[in-house]
Amino acid sequence: MKFSLTDYREVRKFFIIFYVVGTIGMVLPLTQALFIRLIPYSLLLNIAYLGYFHADKKSLKTVLAFIGIAVLSFFIEMIGVESGLIFGTYAYGEGLGLKWHDTPLIIGVNWVILVYCSSAILEQYTRWKTTFKILAASTLMLLYDVVLEIAAPKMDMWVFNHEEVPMANYVAWFVIAALFHTVIKLLKINIKNPLALTVFACQFVFFILLAMLLK
């Protein structure tokens, strides 16, 4: 039986295995440092496959919109790190790779993955009105962040001063997510991707497990 990395059904299985291996690698002391260094490459692999299986590859509007989200989210994070006014006072570690102005270059890619996947999930699996889709997709991202904030310091991704995550962080996450989802709807970008739910779910479970297993 051949395994094809261009068949979305096979790639779904690949991502499940990928995140199972990632979880084990993060938990084992012997391999943890290596797997932390691999986080940025993991995000690039995620976005590459999401792009490959995106339904409308010819839509320049979609490409430009998500480039805009990547750039804008990076600068929002940079301002947040330097001022402490958006998310609270926090600092990035080395887990997300190369930084500019103390902000990982890959962080915009992470925002794109989350906005893209949450939007696709609501678009493909619900028939709700636009406002409810925006609110639900933003809530999905907020729930993701609640779990992520527990795991992130343990993976050298970032840490808040005094270690407690301020409520401002969660408010900012929801508002920024809602803003991005609103822009997508205003531009009438319809996201369909057979991998979106798998990628989002794998990441979500991955961070839940690490939040529980890492010290």
pTM (predicted TM-score): 0.96
Residue range 151-174: average pLDDT? 95
pLDDT digits (tens, 9 = 90+) for 34-59: 999 999 999 999 999 999 999 888 88
DSSP the chain: ----TTSHHHHHHHHHHHHHHHHHHHHSHHHHHHHHHTHHHHHHHHHHHHHHT-S-TT-HHHHHHHHHHHHHHHHHHHHHHHHSSSS-SEEE-STT--EETTEETTHHHHHHHHHHHHHHHHHHH----HHHHHHHHHHHHHHHHHHHHHHGGGGTSEEETTSPPPHHHHHHHHHHHHHHHHHHHHTT-----TTHHHHHHHHHHHHHHHHHH--
Q: What is the mean pLDDT of the chain?
A: 95
The answer to whether residue 1 scores a pLDDT higher than 60 is no
pLDDT at 162 (0 to 100) = 79
pLDDT digits (tens, 9 = 90+) for 193-215: 999 999 999 999 999 999 999 98
pLDDT band, very low/low/confident/very high, at 2 (cuts 50, 70, 90) = low
Angle between helix 39-52 and 8-27 (nearest 10)? 170
Of the ranges 2-6, 24-28, 110-114, 141-145, which one carries the lowest mean pLDDT score?
2-6
Q: Are 154 and 87 in contact (CB under 8 A)?
A: no
